[in-house]
Amino acid sequence: MKKLFVLWMCGCGIFAFGQEVNKDFTKQLLNEQFDNVDKNWNTTFNAENLFIGQNGFYELYRRSKKSGYYLFSNGAEEYSAFQLEVGLVFGDHDNKKQSAGILMMAHSETSEGLAVEINRKKEYRIVRVYKDKQVPLTGTGTGWKKASGALTKLENIISVKTYDKVYDLYFNGIFIQSFTDIELNKGKLGLYVGPDSKVKFDYMKVLGEDKKQLVDIDVNDSKSEEQAFTQIIVRLKDQINKKDKEIDEYKTKLKLCENGSTSRNTSDTGLNNLKNRLLASVVVLEEENDELKFKLIRMEDELVKLRDFKEGVEKGNDGDIIINLTNMVSNQKTNIETLEKHNKALNNENNSLFMETKDLTKQVDKLTNNLTAEQQKNKELMNEIDSLKKQIMVLQDSLSKKNTELNKQNGNTPPEKELSEEEKLKLMIEKEREERRKKKEEEEKKRKEEEEKNGNGNG
Model confidence pLDDT, tens digit, residues 240-267: 777 777 777 777 777 776 666 555 544 5
The three-state secondary structure class of 374 is helix
Residue 398 lies in a domain: no
Where would I find the beta strands (DSSP E) of 164-208? 166-171, 174-181, 187-193, 197-208
How much is the average pLDDT of 159-183? Answer: 93
- Is 257 found in the same domain as 200? no
- Is 133 found in the same domain as 271? no
The pTM score is 0.48
> Tens digits of per-residue pLDDT, 422-458?
777 777 788 888 888 888 899 888 888 888 888 776 6
**Beta-bridge partners for 207:** 28, 83
Share of the chain above pLDDT 90, in %: 33
Residue 134 lies in a domain: yes
- Is 263 found in the same domain as 196? no
Residue 67 lies in a domain: yes
Whether 109 has a pLDDT exceeding 90, the answer reads no
- Is 23 found in the same domain as 66? yes
Instruction: Give the residue from 78, 76, 102 showing the smallest Cα distance to 88.
Output: 102
- Is 50 found in the same domain as 110? yes
Residue 431 lies in a domain: no
The three-state secondary structure class of 146 is strand
Domain count, the chain: 2
Handedness of CA 178, 179, 182, 185 (dihedral sign): negative
How much is the average pLDDT of 170-184? Answer: 93
Contact 188, 76 (CB under 8 A): yes
- Please, which contacts does 42-48 make with residues 24 or more away whose CB atoms are closer than 8 Å? 42/71, 42/74
The three-state secondary structure class of 61 is strand
> Tens digits of per-residue pLDDT, 282-305?
777 777 778 777 777 877 777 777
Contact 98, 194 (CB under 8 A): yes
- Is 280 found in the same domain as 219? yes
- Is 150 found in the same domain as 35? yes
Q: What is the CATH number of the domain that holds 47?
A: 2.60.120.560
> Tens digits of per-residue pLDDT, 345-385?
887 877 777 887 888 888 888 888 888 888 998 888 888 88
Residue 446 lies in a domain: no
Contact 30, 153 (CB under 8 A): no
> Tens digits of per-residue pLDDT, 273-286?
666 777 777 777 77
The three-state secondary structure class of 18 is coil
- Is 235 found in the same domain as 171? no
Q: What is the pLDDT of residue 417?
A: 58
Helix-then-strand count for the chain, H and E = 6, 18
Q: Dihedral angle at the C-alpha atoms of 310, 311, 315, 319, nearest 10 degrees?
A: -10
Q: For residues 53 and 44, what is the distance between their CA atoms, to the nearest angstrom? A: 10
**10 Å Cβ neighbour count for 217?**
18
Q: How far is the first Cα of the chain from the last one, in angstroms, to the nearest whole number?
A: 134
Residue 455 lies in a domain: no
Domain that holds residue 300: 214-317
- Phi-psi map region of 344: left, alpha, beta (phi>0 left; psi -120 to 50 alpha): alpha
Q: What is the pLDDT of residue 159?
A: 97
Of the two residues 333 and 205, the one the predictor is more confident about is: 205
How much is the average pLDDT of 393-408? Answer: 79
Q: What is the pLDDT of residue 108?
A: 64
Pick the last residue of a domain from 257, 283, 317.
317
Q: What is the pLDDT of residue 43?
A: 92
* Candidate from 2-6, 53-57, 136-140 with smallest mean pLDDT: 2-6
**10 Å Cβ neighbour count for 372?**
10
* Candidate from 110-124, 281-295, 303-317 with smallest mean pLDDT: 303-317
Residue 124 lies in a domain: yes
Pick the last residue of a domain from 283, 317, 351.
317
Contact residues for 271 (Cβ-Cβ < 8 A; gap 6+): 7, 10, 257, 260, 261
Q: For residues 299 and 294, what is the distance between their CA atoms, to the nearest angstrom? A: 9
Q: For residues 72 and 200, what is the distance between their CA atoms, to the nearest angstrom? A: 15
- Is 218 found in the same domain as 204? no
Residue 24 lies in a domain: yes
- Is 188 found in the same domain as 80? yes
Q: Dihedral angle at the C-alpha atoms of 231, 237, 240, 242, nearest 10 degrees?
A: -80
- Is 24 found in the same domain as 128? yes
Q: What is the pLDDT of residue 262?
A: 53
Q: For residues 413 and 410, what is the distance between their CA atoms, to the nearest angstrom? A: 9
- Is 250 found in the same domain as 171? no
Q: What is the pLDDT of residue 387?
A: 83
Q: What is the pLDDT of residue 402?
A: 80
Pick the last residue of a domain from 317, 350, 384.
317
Whether 178 has a pLDDT exceeding 50, the answer reads yes
Q: For residues 374 and 382, what is the distance between their CA atoms, to the nearest angstrom? A: 12
